Amino acid sequence: MEILHSKIIGEGKPLVILHGFLGMSDNWKTLGNQYAQNGFQVHLVDQRNHGRSFHSDEFDYEVMSQDVFRYLDQYQIEKTSIIGHSMGGKTAMQVATEHPQQIEKLLVADISPKYYPPHHQAIVDALVQLDFDYIKSRKEADESLAQHLDDVGIRLFLLKNLHWVEPDKLGLRFNLDILKDKMDEIGENLASSAVFNGPTLFLRGDRSEYILPNDFPGIHRHFPNANIQTVEKAGHWLHAENPKQFFEKSLHFLNS
């Protein structure tokens, strides 16, 4: 059975961090180092079909949650806190509600337990257009994406996945073939019976529409001890857009 790829930083209490859709563990390197400097052994994990982890035709929160348990087992981690952003937040919720005894604290970044209709189609369409028979540099890849995606921030985020598959051939680290066919799975809601009673923090960006006030009752139904806080001057990528406030609020929660 394959184990998720990770980068482990620091020593102390275990802290697992799960990235979002089309992201990878590297997105959390800066914050990961800060947590490590504050007494945590940080596990920056690549979820399946992302980063340097294995590719698989199976892709839903059930198997992604099992991946995390296998990972904890591999590293003999009996109890850990977990941070998950977006898709990673959904995985983290699944993990916490399935094996609450293994989760010390749960921090979910800008996603709620509800169902989200597929909304990444424009990004996926732009990625499908990348032709690596002709694209030979990051600049050329960006020019191709720019024909479909105006947002420079999103393009830079996607281009982090660019790597040399062979000495003269670029490619993407994530498994686009499977991910584009599994778009419905990304937005899947948490099972209605799923509950985690442990300490939980939901952080939402003040410019994001992923967690709205009418989502609060649903959050508290699944997570009775959830505290919901807002990170200012931040959209959906709140940990990248206001890392200082995200770090302060998350560290205070992890240490409380």
Reduced 3-state DSSP string for 132-184 = CCCCCCHHHHHHHHHCCCCCHHHHHHHHCCEEEEECCEEEECCCHHHHHHCHH
Average pLDDT across each block of 10 residues of the chain; the chain has 256 residues. List them in order: 96 98 96 98 98 97 97 97 98 97 98 94 94 95 95 92 94 96 93 97 97 98 98 96 97 97
The phi and psi torsions of 142 (rounded to 5 degrees) equal -65, -40
Please state, in angstroms and as integers, the Cα–Cα distance from residue 197 to each residue in 64, 95, 131, following that order.
Answer: 21, 13, 48
Interatomic CA distance for residues 226 and 197, integer angstroms:
8
User: Which residue, among 59, 110, 83, 98, has the nearest Cα to 231 in the 3D structure?
Assistant: 110
How far is C-alpha 130 from the geometric centre of its chain's CA atoms? 24
Interatomic CA distance for residues 113 and 240, integer angstroms:
22
Would you state the structure tokens that stand for residue 92, as one six-digit string? Answer: 């983290």
b/e for 234-244, b at 16 or more Cβ within 10 A? bbbbbbbbbee
Contact 219, 112 (CB under 8 A): yes
Query: What is the reported pLDDT for 208?
Result: 96
Q: So where are the chain's domains?
A: 6-116+188-255, 121-181
CATH code, residues 6-116+188-255? 3.40.50.1820
Interatomic CA distance for residues 254 and 256, integer angstroms:
6
The residues assigned a catalytic role are 86, 177, 236
Numbers of helices and strands, H then E, in the chain: 11, 9
Does this model's pTM top 0.95? My answer is yes
CA angle 114, 236, 42 (to 5 degrees): 90
Using DSSP bridges, classify how beta strands 40-45 and 6-9 pair: parallel, antiparallel or unpaired.
Answer: antiparallel
Would you state the structure tokens that stand for residue 240, as one six-digit string? Answer: 């990248």
